[in-house]
Structure 1
């Protein structure tokens, strides 16, 4: 069996309304503008309760392979299944709900010769929810601080990456929607090159699976993931310093202005600051060892 140039991975969960349209658009693209490339399209049905799998099968084309989970495991798990089964030299990840336009694929592929991973960065013209735009802006700012390099779109699921690198990093990816965060930080942390290409994301086809309350908890978890996956000390050290200064300042205030002894509260805060800093050091070493295995 020949090795295709590109493997496209489409995680599918209850996308019966749009997956067929996306598949047909991709096939037209590789029959015309990208006809010089060989491609396989892996649609991973993550335990859908609608007829998503049947919709995929109705698009009769030898380039499409349907892989099915027996039950819903998670968006990231579907991506990992796709990566493990991919045979192409490059892997393209995109959503099956119509948000990512097949017409943008050539612009991402144009950079694969120079970069290890190319990410479609959503612009302000994208048709996305306001609360998600605000959250993504915060993620990008925080990730830029932690990584020490500009992160244009941390959570974009539209990206192309070298297949060997994707397989090398697959064990780091979670089973959830936060896999784009993890793979971005893993690529940067491991010293591989990253390129952002501006795209306009469209409104999804069908009902959104994003819930505001669940998004809130996911927001906090992604912030925690950013801190722990890349450079924990960049987060632990400032918190440690702030705790120390609060404890020291409070004790000094009591001694100088209230004529009271330094007290246990200040001593406790200063001790806690030392514990936080040591936790940061240990976490930093664990992170280093974790990524050292991928080099």
Structure 2
């Protein structure tokens, strides 16, 4: 018989995605959802009845915390006395574990699993996959996983569950919790999301200066496509001399000389402190 999973936040934005994918597996799942709207959605769309916290934790082998980062510390401490030794606690982000918000229970297994989301170079023939930007539905995506504490043998179970909840899967990467924190919030949010926001603001500025909005959007997104393909070696190629010259003089105009320090442990820790 497959392991029992207690899924907290089953009717939330992320929890609902997990619930839908877990229904396709052989895992036994007990669903916990505090919001009336979330419980109604689970019942109306997936015919799932939620249970109490005590019922969910009774005999649970794995507890998935599909709740906001700010709630993981309190929730994990509240339910800790009710979890048997050997239970796997899975979080969907490295922030709270990295910040030390999980209970000091050396007899528990702590596992972190986070999706990479479908890559921008998506050539899937299925139009639904090409429009699945988040992942977990139609487009293949890679995943990252970390066994924070517990026996080595526990990793296979955690990775298998991660492959189910984030399916369909492209690749599975095993990392440490600290490496996952470098990727998020460091790489994906502090750097990538920030620079993309700057690009959007730059596009809006060209519109303010007279460029038609549709032309500016087509021009920027088209160049993001080809420039990304060259930079990330998706295709063979090189930038023109003019483009290289623009980068040479543009980067110091746009970026601080010490921007790379956003990856220093202190910077990552402070970013996570703000998040959690």
TM-score (normalised: structure 2): 0.31
- Structure showing greater relative contact order (alpha-carbon pairs closer than 8 Å, 6 or more residues apart): 1
Find the structure with the greater CA-based Rg: 1
